[in-house]
Structure formats: C-alpha cells, structure tokens
Amino acid sequence: MKLTINGTPRVRRIVAAIDCGQPVNPDGIAQQVEGAIVYGLSAALKEAITIKGGAVEQANFHDFELLRINEMPVVEVHIIPSTEPPSSTGEPGLPPAAPAVANAIFAATGKRLRTLPFKVT
C-alpha cells in the first residue's frame, strides 16, 4: 500500500477468485470481474457525492470519475475449475473492493477508515 501526496491510497495489485460453475467464456468472466473491481476501487479511492445549495454537484461521469487506466492496479483473476452448471458472473468484484482496501490501510497504518473515498492523514 502506497500513499500519494494528497493522502489517497494507491493500490498496486488485486488478486480475485471467482467460482461461477463451469466456465463457458473465461475471458468474459475475467473481464466482468476486472470491470467490477474498477467500480469498487473508484468508490473507495475517488468518487464522492457532494451537495451544494441543496443539490448534488455531480451530473455524470465527467465530474464523478472512475479510476483511470494509469491509476489501476495489476488485476489477477483466478477462475475456480468446476463441473457445476454454469451460472451468471454478476459483479462479484465490486462489494469486497473497498473493505479490502480499508483492511490494507489498517494493516499498513493502524488507522481504521470508515468514510469513502479514503484519505489517509
């Protein structure tokens, strides 16, 4: 875990595993998990909804940014071999992203962060 100058954590590597039954399209499964991780990490590290004058300031993705490609960590996806019937992939990489970053920050700094986006001061 590295920190940028403004206190935003920088994630260098993510390892994910998925068990979705017999994999039919492994590349598509990996891409689905990777895309979900983009959204999960973006929520943890960048995205914020701000209110001004009783209205939300963000209108769309131009002012509610996802992580850019140069900010993304290396993502490694492992698909669990299975003989179970295939199932949908969904977005399983999104929910654990922020808690995983929070735990890594705690392990590195001893600080518990509970507000998104994370800033370490």
Name residue 2's beta-bridge partners: 10
- How many helices, marked H, and strands, marked E, lie in the chain? 2, 6
Instruction: Tell which residue, 90, 89, 115, 87, has the closest CA to residue 101.
Output: 115
CATH T-level topology, domain 2-109? Aldehyde Oxidoreductase; domain 4 (3.30.365)
Q: Give the model confidence (pLDDT) of 59-98 as tens digits.
A: 887 888 889 999 999 999 999 999 999 998 889 999 999 9
pLDDT tens-place string over residues 11-66? 999 999 999 999 999 999 999 999 999 999 999 999 888 999 999 999 887 888 88
d(CA 26, CA 24): 6
**Which residues, in sequence order, are CB contacts of 53 under 8 Å at separation 6+?**
none
Of 4, 5, 21, 107, the closest CA to residue 29 belongs to 21
Domain boundaries, the chain: 2-109
Q: Which residues contact 114 (CB under 8 A, 6 or more apart)?
A: 102
pTM of the shown model:
0.85
Side-chain-facing half-sphere of 95: CA atoms under 13 Å:
3
